[in-house]
Protein backbone atom coordinates (compact mmCIF):
# COMPACT_ATOMS: atom_id res chain seq x y z
CA UNK A 1 0.00 0.00 0.00
CA UNK A 2 1.77 3.17 -1.21
CA UNK A 3 0.67 6.78 -0.70
CA UNK A 4 0.79 9.46 -3.36
CA UNK A 5 -0.51 13.00 -3.82
CA UNK A 6 -2.24 14.59 -6.80
CA UNK A 7 -3.42 18.12 -7.50
CA UNK A 8 -6.73 17.81 -9.32
CA UNK A 9 -7.62 21.43 -9.90
CA UNK A 10 -8.55 22.86 -6.48
CA UNK A 11 -8.22 19.45 -4.81
CA UNK A 12 -5.29 18.00 -2.93
CA UNK A 13 -5.94 14.28 -3.36
CA UNK A 14 -4.00 11.89 -1.13
CA UNK A 15 -4.29 8.35 -2.44
CA UNK A 16 -3.37 5.16 -0.62
CA UNK A 17 -3.82 2.22 -2.93
CA UNK A 18 -2.51 -1.27 -3.53
CA UNK A 19 -0.37 -2.03 -6.55
CA UNK A 20 -1.71 -3.04 -9.94
CA UNK A 21 -4.21 -3.34 -11.26
CA UNK A 22 -6.50 -1.22 -9.03
CA UNK A 23 -3.84 1.17 -7.76
CA UNK A 24 -2.35 1.66 -11.20
CA UNK A 25 -5.75 2.40 -12.69
CA UNK A 26 -6.51 5.05 -10.08
CA UNK A 27 -3.06 6.61 -10.23
CA UNK A 28 -3.15 6.82 -14.03
CA UNK A 29 -6.56 8.50 -13.88
CA UNK A 30 -5.46 11.01 -11.25
CA UNK A 31 -2.21 11.79 -13.09
CA UNK A 32 -4.22 13.08 -16.06
CA UNK A 33 -5.07 16.20 -14.06
CA UNK A 34 -1.95 18.03 -15.12
CA UNK A 35 -2.90 21.69 -14.61
CA UNK A 36 -1.10 23.07 -11.56
CA UNK A 37 -3.23 25.26 -9.30
CA UNK A 38 -1.74 27.60 -6.73
CA UNK A 39 -2.46 27.57 -3.03
CA UNK A 40 -3.43 24.86 -0.58
CA UNK A 41 -6.01 22.55 -2.00
CA UNK A 42 -9.27 21.19 -0.66
CA UNK A 43 -8.23 17.95 1.05
CA UNK A 44 -9.50 14.63 -0.29
CA UNK A 45 -8.26 11.45 1.38
CA UNK A 46 -8.82 8.34 -0.71
CA UNK A 47 -7.98 4.86 0.51
CA UNK A 48 -8.45 2.11 -2.06
CA UNK A 49 -8.43 -1.60 -1.33
CA UNK A 50 -9.17 -4.92 -2.90
CA UNK A 51 -11.96 -6.34 -0.79
CA UNK A 52 -15.34 -7.93 -0.74
CA UNK A 53 -18.23 -6.80 -2.97
CA UNK A 54 -20.80 -4.36 -1.65
CA UNK A 55 -23.19 -6.02 0.78
CA UNK A 56 -26.19 -4.30 -0.78
CA UNK A 57 -26.62 -2.05 -3.80
CA UNK A 58 -27.25 1.66 -3.44
CA UNK A 59 -30.65 2.77 -4.68
CA UNK A 60 -29.57 5.79 -6.71
CA UNK A 61 -31.45 8.32 -4.62
CA UNK A 62 -28.60 10.86 -5.04
CA UNK A 63 -27.47 9.90 -8.53
CA UNK A 64 -28.26 7.19 -11.07
CA UNK A 65 -25.53 6.28 -13.52
CA UNK A 66 -25.36 3.55 -16.13
CA UNK A 67 -23.11 1.34 -13.99
CA UNK A 68 -23.25 3.01 -10.59
CA UNK A 69 -25.84 4.10 -8.04
CA UNK A 70 -25.21 6.70 -5.35
CA UNK A 71 -27.11 7.43 -2.13
CA UNK A 72 -26.66 10.20 0.41
CA UNK A 73 -25.83 9.06 3.95
CA UNK A 74 -25.83 10.95 7.23
CA UNK A 75 -22.11 11.68 6.83
CA UNK A 76 -21.61 11.81 3.07
CA UNK A 77 -22.21 9.47 0.15
CA UNK A 78 -22.27 5.75 -0.59
CA UNK A 79 -21.92 4.35 -4.10
CA UNK A 80 -22.03 0.85 -5.56
CA UNK A 81 -21.33 -0.39 -9.08
CA UNK A 82 -22.90 -3.24 -11.03
CA UNK A 83 -19.77 -5.36 -10.58
CA UNK A 84 -19.68 -4.97 -6.83
CA UNK A 85 -17.15 -2.18 -6.35
CA UNK A 86 -18.20 0.42 -3.82
CA UNK A 87 -17.13 3.63 -2.15
CA UNK A 88 -18.14 5.43 1.01
CA UNK A 89 -17.28 9.03 1.72
CA UNK A 90 -17.46 10.93 5.00
CA UNK A 91 -17.40 14.70 4.72
CA UNK A 92 -16.39 17.29 7.31
CA UNK A 93 -14.86 20.74 7.43
CA UNK A 94 -11.39 19.35 6.71
CA UNK A 95 -12.50 17.78 3.42
CA UNK A 96 -13.62 14.33 2.36
CA UNK A 97 -12.47 10.92 3.48
CA UNK A 98 -13.24 8.07 1.08
CA UNK A 99 -12.83 4.32 1.18
CA UNK A 100 -13.02 2.70 -2.25
CA UNK A 101 -13.19 -1.05 -2.51
CA UNK A 102 -13.05 -3.25 -5.59
CA UNK A 103 -13.67 -7.00 -5.55
CA UNK A 104 -10.57 -9.07 -6.18
CA UNK A 105 -12.04 -10.49 -9.38
CA UNK A 106 -12.62 -7.03 -10.85
CA UNK A 107 -10.46 -6.68 -13.95
CA UNK A 108 -10.46 -5.47 -17.51
CA UNK A 109 -13.55 -3.49 -18.47
CA UNK A 110 -15.10 -3.81 -15.04
CA UNK A 111 -12.07 -2.09 -13.52
CA UNK A 112 -13.35 1.01 -15.26
CA UNK A 113 -15.99 1.10 -12.55
CA UNK A 114 -13.24 2.04 -10.10
CA UNK A 115 -12.67 5.06 -12.32
CA UNK A 116 -16.37 5.88 -12.15
CA UNK A 117 -16.11 5.83 -8.37
CA UNK A 118 -13.03 8.05 -8.59
CA UNK A 119 -14.96 10.48 -10.76
CA UNK A 120 -17.61 10.66 -8.05
CA UNK A 121 -14.88 11.41 -5.50
CA UNK A 122 -13.49 14.25 -7.65
CA UNK A 123 -16.81 15.83 -8.64
CA UNK A 124 -17.90 15.79 -5.01
CA UNK A 125 -14.70 17.58 -3.97
CA UNK A 126 -15.00 20.14 -6.75
CA UNK A 127 -18.57 20.96 -5.80
CA UNK A 128 -17.74 21.17 -2.11
CA UNK A 129 -14.94 23.61 -2.93
CA UNK A 130 -17.36 25.89 -4.76
CA UNK A 131 -17.02 24.80 -8.38
CA UNK A 132 -19.45 23.28 -10.85
CA UNK A 133 -17.96 20.56 -13.07
CA UNK A 134 -18.86 21.12 -16.72
CA UNK A 135 -18.65 18.56 -19.50
CA UNK A 136 -17.56 21.00 -22.17
CA UNK A 137 -14.48 22.39 -23.84
CA UNK A 138 -13.31 25.99 -23.90
CA UNK A 139 -11.12 28.29 -25.99
CA UNK A 140 -9.97 31.82 -25.33
CA UNK A 141 -8.09 34.53 -27.14
CA UNK A 142 -7.45 36.46 -23.94
CA UNK A 143 -10.58 38.60 -24.30
CA UNK A 144 -13.30 36.26 -25.46
CA UNK A 145 -13.81 32.79 -24.03
CA UNK A 146 -16.18 30.33 -25.66
CA UNK A 147 -17.52 27.22 -23.99
CA UNK A 148 -17.66 24.43 -26.56
CA UNK A 149 -20.68 22.15 -26.10
CA UNK A 150 -21.91 19.04 -27.86
CA UNK A 151 -23.19 15.64 -26.94
CA UNK A 152 -20.78 12.78 -26.33
CA UNK A 153 -19.05 12.05 -29.61
CA UNK A 154 -20.31 15.37 -30.97
CA UNK A 155 -16.89 16.66 -31.94
CA UNK A 156 -15.90 18.95 -29.04
CA UNK A 157 -12.30 17.73 -29.03
CA UNK A 158 -11.64 18.02 -32.75
CA UNK A 159 -13.35 21.41 -32.99
CA UNK A 160 -11.44 22.73 -29.98
CA UNK A 161 -8.19 21.38 -31.37
CA UNK A 162 -8.87 23.08 -34.71
CA UNK A 163 -9.33 26.45 -33.00
CA UNK A 164 -6.12 25.93 -31.02
CA UNK A 165 -4.32 25.44 -34.30
CA UNK A 166 -5.72 28.81 -35.44
CA UNK A 167 -4.21 30.62 -32.48
CA UNK A 168 -6.77 30.18 -29.72
CA UNK A 169 -5.75 28.76 -26.38
CA UNK A 170 -7.70 25.99 -24.72
CA UNK A 171 -8.73 25.25 -21.16
CA UNK A 172 -9.59 21.68 -22.08
CA UNK A 173 -11.70 19.70 -24.49
CA UNK A 174 -14.30 18.17 -22.17
CA UNK A 175 -13.63 18.81 -18.49
CA UNK A 176 -13.87 22.29 -16.98
CA UNK A 177 -14.77 23.87 -13.67
CA UNK A 178 -17.16 26.82 -13.51
CA UNK A 179 -17.99 29.26 -10.74
CA UNK A 180 -18.98 32.84 -10.11
CA UNK A 181 -16.67 35.24 -8.32
CA UNK A 182 -19.00 37.99 -7.22
CA UNK A 183 -21.10 38.55 -10.31
CA UNK A 184 -18.34 37.47 -12.68
CA UNK A 185 -18.23 33.97 -14.19
CA UNK A 186 -14.95 32.12 -14.19
CA UNK A 187 -13.98 28.92 -15.93
CA UNK A 188 -10.86 26.99 -15.00
CA UNK A 189 -8.84 24.15 -16.49
CA UNK A 190 -8.07 20.88 -14.75
CA UNK A 191 -6.40 18.93 -17.53
CA UNK A 192 -4.76 19.82 -20.80
CA UNK A 193 -4.98 16.44 -22.44
CA UNK A 194 -7.12 16.04 -25.54
CA UNK A 195 -9.08 12.93 -26.46
CA UNK A 196 -8.59 12.88 -30.22
CA UNK A 197 -9.93 10.57 -32.87
CA UNK A 198 -7.01 8.95 -34.74
CA UNK A 199 -8.55 10.25 -37.96
CA UNK A 200 -7.48 13.73 -36.85
CA UNK A 201 -4.16 13.04 -38.53
CA UNK A 202 -5.93 13.20 -41.89
CA UNK A 203 -6.13 16.95 -41.29
CA UNK A 204 -3.08 17.41 -39.07
CA UNK A 205 -0.44 14.93 -40.19
CA UNK A 206 2.22 16.55 -37.99
CA UNK A 207 0.53 14.89 -34.98
CA UNK A 208 1.94 11.62 -36.23
CA UNK A 209 0.13 8.32 -36.26
CA UNK A 210 -2.19 8.54 -33.26
CA UNK A 211 -2.95 4.85 -33.57
CA UNK A 212 0.47 4.23 -32.06
CA UNK A 213 -0.87 5.57 -28.78
CA UNK A 214 -2.70 3.18 -26.46
CA UNK A 215 -6.49 2.97 -26.48
CA UNK A 216 -7.68 4.08 -23.05
CA UNK A 217 -11.26 2.84 -23.13
CA UNK A 218 -13.18 0.04 -24.78
CA UNK A 219 -15.96 2.53 -25.53
CA UNK A 220 -13.98 4.84 -27.78
CA UNK A 221 -11.20 4.72 -30.33
CA UNK A 222 -9.87 8.09 -29.20
CA UNK A 223 -6.31 8.60 -28.02
CA UNK A 224 -4.99 10.94 -25.35
CA UNK A 225 -2.85 13.71 -26.81
CA UNK A 226 -1.28 16.58 -24.84
CA UNK A 227 -2.68 19.96 -25.89
CA UNK A 228 0.89 21.17 -26.33
CA UNK A 229 1.20 18.77 -29.29
CA UNK A 230 -1.30 20.98 -31.13
CA UNK A 231 0.55 24.19 -30.35
CA UNK A 232 3.25 24.77 -27.75
CA UNK A 233 1.59 27.84 -26.23
CA UNK A 234 -1.96 26.70 -26.90
CA UNK A 235 -3.20 26.35 -23.34
CA UNK A 236 -4.82 28.63 -20.75
CA UNK A 237 -5.77 27.93 -17.16
CA UNK A 238 -8.50 30.44 -16.33
CA UNK A 239 -10.84 32.72 -18.30
CA UNK A 240 -14.11 34.63 -18.12
CA UNK A 241 -16.64 32.89 -20.37
CA UNK A 242 -18.38 35.21 -22.85
CA UNK A 243 -19.83 32.86 -25.46
CA UNK A 244 -21.25 29.40 -25.90
CA UNK A 245 -20.83 27.31 -29.04
CA UNK A 246 -23.24 24.43 -29.58
CA UNK A 247 -21.82 22.09 -32.21
CA UNK A 248 -23.97 20.21 -34.66
CA UNK A 249 -22.19 17.97 -37.17
CA UNK A 250 -23.56 18.68 -40.63
CA UNK A 251 -22.34 15.88 -42.87
CA UNK A 252 -24.47 17.01 -45.83
CA UNK A 253 -22.71 20.36 -46.13
CA UNK A 254 -19.12 21.26 -46.84
CA UNK A 255 -19.07 24.70 -45.26
CA UNK A 256 -19.44 25.65 -41.61
CA UNK A 257 -22.34 27.93 -40.68
CA UNK A 258 -23.02 29.91 -37.52
CA UNK A 259 -26.43 31.03 -36.22
CA UNK A 260 -27.28 32.86 -33.00
CA UNK A 261 -28.94 30.87 -30.22
CA UNK A 262 -31.88 32.17 -28.24
CA UNK A 263 -31.40 32.91 -24.56
CA UNK A 264 -33.55 29.88 -23.73
CA UNK A 265 -31.39 27.65 -25.91
CA UNK A 266 -28.21 28.88 -24.22
CA UNK A 267 -29.67 28.07 -20.81
CA UNK A 268 -30.84 24.64 -21.91
CA UNK A 269 -27.51 23.84 -23.53
CA UNK A 270 -25.46 24.87 -20.49
CA UNK A 271 -27.77 23.04 -18.09
CA UNK A 272 -27.19 19.86 -20.08
CA UNK A 273 -23.41 20.09 -19.63
CA UNK A 274 -23.45 19.32 -15.94
CA UNK A 275 -24.71 16.61 -13.63
CA UNK A 276 -27.36 17.74 -11.16
CA UNK A 277 -27.73 15.25 -8.28
CA UNK A 278 -31.05 14.76 -6.51
CA UNK A 279 -30.05 16.92 -3.58
CA UNK A 280 -31.75 20.26 -3.03
CA UNK A 281 -28.76 22.14 -1.66
CA UNK A 282 -26.39 20.89 -4.32
CA UNK A 283 -28.95 21.48 -7.06
CA UNK A 284 -29.48 25.01 -5.80
CA UNK A 285 -25.73 25.68 -5.90
CA UNK A 286 -25.36 24.22 -9.38
CA UNK A 287 -28.44 26.00 -10.74
CA UNK A 288 -27.44 29.27 -9.12
CA UNK A 289 -24.13 29.17 -10.96
CA UNK A 290 -25.19 27.74 -14.31
CA UNK A 291 -28.38 29.77 -14.78
CA UNK A 292 -26.68 33.06 -13.98
CA UNK A 293 -23.64 32.32 -16.13
CA UNK A 294 -25.92 31.30 -19.01
CA UNK A 295 -27.68 34.66 -18.85
CA UNK A 296 -24.40 36.44 -19.62
CA UNK A 297 -23.34 34.32 -22.57
CA UNK A 298 -23.78 34.96 -26.28
CA UNK A 299 -24.85 31.68 -27.84
CA UNK A 300 -24.08 30.30 -31.29
CA UNK A 301 -25.16 27.16 -33.04
CA UNK A 302 -22.30 25.95 -35.21
CA UNK A 303 -23.17 23.62 -38.07
CA UNK A 304 -19.85 21.89 -38.62
CA UNK A 305 -19.49 20.91 -42.27
CA UNK A 306 -17.79 17.70 -43.24
CA UNK A 307 -14.70 19.52 -44.54
CA UNK A 308 -14.43 21.88 -41.60
CA UNK A 309 -10.98 20.75 -40.61
CA UNK A 310 -9.53 20.12 -44.04
CA UNK A 311 -9.59 23.85 -44.80
CA UNK A 312 -8.65 25.91 -41.72
CA UNK A 313 -10.45 28.95 -43.18
CA UNK A 314 -13.78 27.14 -42.87
CA UNK A 315 -13.78 28.07 -39.18
CA UNK A 316 -13.50 31.79 -39.99
CA UNK A 317 -17.29 32.31 -39.56
CA UNK A 318 -17.00 31.00 -36.02
CA UNK A 319 -14.23 33.43 -35.20
CA UNK A 320 -16.15 36.27 -36.81
CA UNK A 321 -19.12 35.52 -34.56
CA UNK A 322 -16.94 35.42 -31.46
CA UNK A 323 -15.06 38.60 -32.26
CA UNK B 1 -52.66 17.74 -11.52
CA UNK B 2 -55.72 19.96 -12.05
CA UNK B 3 -56.36 22.74 -9.60
CA UNK B 4 -59.47 22.02 -7.49
CA UNK B 5 -62.33 24.45 -7.86
CA UNK B 6 -62.15 25.27 -4.17
CA UNK B 7 -60.59 28.71 -4.08
CA UNK B 8 -59.75 28.20 -0.41
CA UNK B 9 -57.36 25.31 -1.04
CA UNK B 10 -53.75 26.38 -0.44
CA UNK B 11 -50.87 25.26 -2.65
CA UNK B 12 -47.10 25.32 -2.18
CA UNK B 13 -44.15 24.45 -4.39
CA UNK B 14 -43.18 20.80 -3.94
CA UNK B 15 -39.95 20.25 -1.98
CA UNK B 16 -38.34 18.75 -5.09
CA UNK B 17 -38.62 22.06 -6.92
CA UNK B 18 -35.44 24.15 -6.75
CA UNK B 19 -35.66 27.88 -7.45
CA UNK B 20 -32.99 30.17 -8.90
CA UNK B 21 -34.04 33.80 -8.62
CA UNK B 22 -32.89 36.23 -11.32
CA UNK B 23 -33.27 39.98 -11.78
CA UNK B 24 -36.08 39.44 -14.26
CA UNK B 25 -37.74 36.29 -13.07
CA UNK B 26 -36.68 32.83 -11.95
CA UNK B 27 -35.82 29.36 -13.15
CA UNK B 28 -37.46 26.37 -11.49
CA UNK B 29 -35.96 22.87 -11.69
CA UNK B 30 -38.10 19.89 -10.74
CA UNK B 31 -35.64 17.33 -9.42
CA UNK B 32 -38.21 14.57 -9.86
CA UNK B 33 -39.19 15.11 -13.50
CA UNK B 34 -35.86 16.79 -14.39
CA UNK B 35 -37.73 19.46 -16.37
CA UNK B 36 -36.91 23.09 -15.82
CA UNK B 37 -39.01 26.20 -16.34
CA UNK B 38 -38.34 29.87 -16.99
CA UNK B 39 -40.64 32.34 -15.26
CA UNK B 40 -40.79 35.98 -16.23
CA UNK B 41 -40.87 38.67 -13.54
CA UNK B 42 -44.64 38.70 -13.04
CA UNK B 43 -44.93 34.92 -12.97
CA UNK B 44 -42.18 34.81 -10.36
CA UNK B 45 -43.81 37.61 -8.33
CA UNK B 46 -46.96 35.47 -8.08
CA UNK B 47 -45.08 32.20 -7.54
CA UNK B 48 -43.50 33.68 -4.42
CA UNK B 49 -46.89 33.25 -2.72
CA UNK B 50 -46.63 29.54 -3.41
CA UNK B 51 -43.13 29.21 -2.00
CA UNK B 52 -44.72 29.42 1.43
CA UNK B 53 -48.24 28.32 0.61
CA UNK B 54 -51.27 30.33 -0.43
CA UNK B 55 -54.66 29.97 -2.06
CA UNK B 56 -55.44 31.23 -5.54
CA UNK B 57 -57.82 33.69 -3.94
CA UNK B 58 -55.12 35.10 -1.68
CA UNK B 59 -52.60 35.40 -4.50
CA UNK B 60 -55.15 36.96 -6.86
CA UNK B 61 -56.15 39.57 -4.31
CA UNK B 62 -52.54 40.59 -3.76
CA UNK B 63 -51.76 40.62 -7.48
CA UNK B 64 -54.75 42.87 -8.17
CA UNK B 65 -53.27 45.35 -5.73
CA UNK B 66 -50.12 45.37 -7.89
CA UNK B 67 -52.15 46.23 -10.96
CA UNK B 68 -52.66 42.72 -12.30
CA UNK B 69 -55.97 41.85 -13.97
CA UNK B 70 -58.43 39.52 -12.28
CA UNK B 71 -57.34 35.90 -12.42
CA UNK B 72 -53.71 36.64 -13.26
CA UNK B 73 -52.40 34.84 -10.19
CA UNK B 74 -54.83 32.01 -10.74
CA UNK B 75 -53.44 31.52 -14.24
CA UNK B 76 -49.93 31.16 -12.82
CA UNK B 77 -51.16 28.63 -10.27
CA UNK B 78 -52.90 26.73 -13.05
CA UNK B 79 -49.66 26.60 -15.02
CA UNK B 80 -47.66 25.44 -11.99
CA UNK B 81 -50.28 22.86 -11.08
CA UNK B 82 -50.52 21.53 -14.63
CA UNK B 83 -46.80 20.74 -14.44
CA UNK B 84 -47.08 19.21 -10.98
CA UNK B 85 -44.82 21.85 -9.48
CA UNK B 86 -47.20 22.58 -6.58
CA UNK B 87 -48.99 20.39 -4.07
CA UNK B 88 -51.80 21.10 -1.67
CA UNK B 89 -50.86 22.39 1.75
CA UNK B 90 -52.58 23.68 4.87
CA UNK B 91 -54.24 27.04 4.46
CA UNK B 92 -52.77 29.81 6.57
CA UNK B 93 -52.29 33.54 6.62
CA UNK B 94 -51.40 35.29 3.39
CA UNK B 95 -47.60 35.05 3.02
CA UNK B 96 -45.76 38.33 3.09
CA UNK B 97 -44.45 38.78 -0.41
CA UNK B 98 -42.74 41.93 -1.70
CA UNK B 99 -45.02 43.92 -3.99
CA UNK B 100 -44.34 43.73 -7.70
CA UNK B 101 -43.41 47.26 -8.67
CA UNK B 102 -42.77 47.04 -12.39
CA UNK B 103 -45.17 47.44 -15.28
CA UNK B 104 -47.49 44.44 -15.19
CA UNK B 105 -47.12 42.08 -18.12
CA UNK B 106 -48.68 38.72 -18.83
CA UNK B 107 -47.10 36.09 -16.56
CA UNK B 108 -45.22 33.39 -18.47
CA UNK B 109 -44.19 29.94 -17.22
CA UNK B 110 -42.17 28.39 -20.03
CA UNK B 111 -41.24 24.74 -19.87
CA UNK B 112 -37.92 23.87 -21.46
CA UNK B 113 -38.43 21.07 -23.96
CA UNK B 114 -35.46 18.92 -23.00
CA UNK B 115 -35.35 17.62 -19.42
CA UNK B 116 -32.06 16.82 -17.76
CA UNK B 117 -31.02 13.18 -17.99
CA UNK B 118 -32.22 10.81 -15.29
CA UNK B 119 -29.49 8.24 -15.91
CA UNK B 120 -26.06 9.39 -16.98
CA UNK B 121 -22.72 8.11 -18.21
CA UNK B 122 -20.69 9.20 -15.20
CA UNK B 123 -20.70 11.60 -12.27
CA UNK B 124 -19.06 14.10 -14.62
CA UNK B 125 -20.73 13.37 -17.96
CA UNK B 126 -24.49 14.06 -18.05
CA UNK B 127 -24.94 12.41 -21.44
CA UNK B 128 -27.33 9.58 -22.05
CA UNK B 129 -25.40 6.27 -21.72
CA UNK B 130 -24.95 4.34 -24.96
CA UNK B 131 -26.50 0.89 -25.12
CA UNK B 132 -24.03 -1.73 -23.99
pLDDT digits (tens, 9 = 90+) for A200-228: 888 888 888 888 887 776 667 888 888 88
Nearest CA in chain A to B38: A264
What's the pLDDT band for A106 if we cut at 50, 70, 90?
low
| CB spacing of A272 vs B27 below 8 angstroms | no
The CATH code for residues B10-97+106-111 is 3.90.930
Nearest CA in chain B to A154: B127
Nearest CA in chain B to A285: B20
| CB spacing of B121 vs A66 below 8 angstroms | yes
Q: Is the model's pLDDT at A153 over the cut of 80?
A: no
Q: Give percent of chain A above pLDDT 70.
A: 97
Q: What does the H/E/C string look like for chain B?
A: CCCCCCCCCEEEECCCEEEEEECCEEEEEECCCCCEEEEEHHHHHHHHHHHHCEEHHHHHHHHHHCCCCCCHHHHHHHHHHHCCCEEEECCCCCCCCCCCCCCCCCCCEEECCCCCCCCECCCCCCCCCCCC
Q: What is the pLDDT of residue A3?
A: 85
Q: What is the pLDDT of residue A307?
A: 77
CB-nearest to B123 from A119, A268, A283 is: A119
Q: What is the pLDDT of residue B3?
A: 54
Lowest mean pLDDT of A94-103, A161-170, A197-206, B46-55, name the range: A197-206
Q: What is the pLDDT of residue B132?
A: 43
Nearest CA in chain B to A177: B124
CB-nearest to B123 from A123, A273, A292 is: A123
Lowest mean pLDDT of A81-85, A106-110, A167-171, B45-49, name the range: A106-110
Pick the more confident residue, A191 or A107: A191
What's the pLDDT band for A303 if we cut at 50, 70, 90?
very high
pLDDT tens column, A69-78: 999 999 999 9
pTM for the structure as a whole = 0.94
3-state secondary structure of A292: helix
B1 touches chain A (CB under 8 A): no
Q: What is the pLDDT of residue B1?
A: 53
What is the distance between the alpha carbons of residues B123 and A168, in angstroms, rounded to a whole number?
A: 29
CB pairs below 8 Å between A and B: how many? 91
Q: What is the mean pLDDT of residues A116-143?
A: 97
Domain segments of chain B as ranges: 10-97+106-111
Measure the CA angle with vertex B115, ends B53 and B45; round to 5°.
Answer: 30
Element (H, E) at A225: strand A223-226
Give me the tens of pLDDT residue by residue for chain B, a chain 132 residues long. 555 556 789 999 999 999 999 999 999 999 999 999 999 999 999 999 999 899 999 999 999 999 999 999 999 999 999 999 999 998 777 778 888 988 999 999 999 999 999 998 899 999 877 654
> How far off is chain A from B88, nearest CA to CA, in Å?
20
B38 touches chain A (CB under 8 A): yes
Nearest CA in chain A to B27: A291
> How far off is chain B from A213, nearest CA to CA, in Å?
24
Could you check whether the bond before residue A85 is cis, i.e. omega within 30 degrees of 0?
no
Sort out which chain A residues have CB atoms less than 8 A from B13's CB and list them. none
**What domains can you pick out in chain A, each with its CATH number?**
2-129 (no CATH), 133-322 (3.40.50.300)
Tell me the pLDDT of chain A averaged across its residues: 92
Q: Is the model's pLDDT at A1 over the cut of 70?
A: no
* Contact by Cβ (8 Å): A181, A128: no
Interface mutation vs chain B, best among A65, A178, A219, most B CBs within 10 Å:
A65
Q: Is the model's pLDDT at A107 over the cut of 70?
A: no
B131 touches chain A (CB under 8 A): no
Sort out which chain B residues have CB atoms less than 8 A from A287's CB and list them. 18, 20, 27, 29
Sort out which chain B residues have CB atoms less than 8 A from A63's CB and list them. 120, 123
| CB spacing of A66 vs B18 below 8 angstroms | no
Its ipTM equals 0.91
Amino acid sequence: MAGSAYGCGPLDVRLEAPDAPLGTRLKDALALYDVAWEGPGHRVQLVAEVGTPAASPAAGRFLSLARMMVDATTTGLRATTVSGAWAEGCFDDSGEHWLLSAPVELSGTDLGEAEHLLTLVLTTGWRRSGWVPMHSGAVTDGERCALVCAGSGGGKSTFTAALVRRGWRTLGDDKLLLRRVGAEPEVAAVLHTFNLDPRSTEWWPELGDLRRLPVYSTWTDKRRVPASALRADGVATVARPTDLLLLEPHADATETRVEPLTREAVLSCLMHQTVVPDDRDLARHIMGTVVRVARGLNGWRVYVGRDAYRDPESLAPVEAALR
Amino acid sequence: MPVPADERQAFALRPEVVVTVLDDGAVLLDLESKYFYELNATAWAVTRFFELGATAEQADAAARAWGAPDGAARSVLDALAAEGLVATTATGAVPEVPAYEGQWSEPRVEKQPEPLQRVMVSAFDPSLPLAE
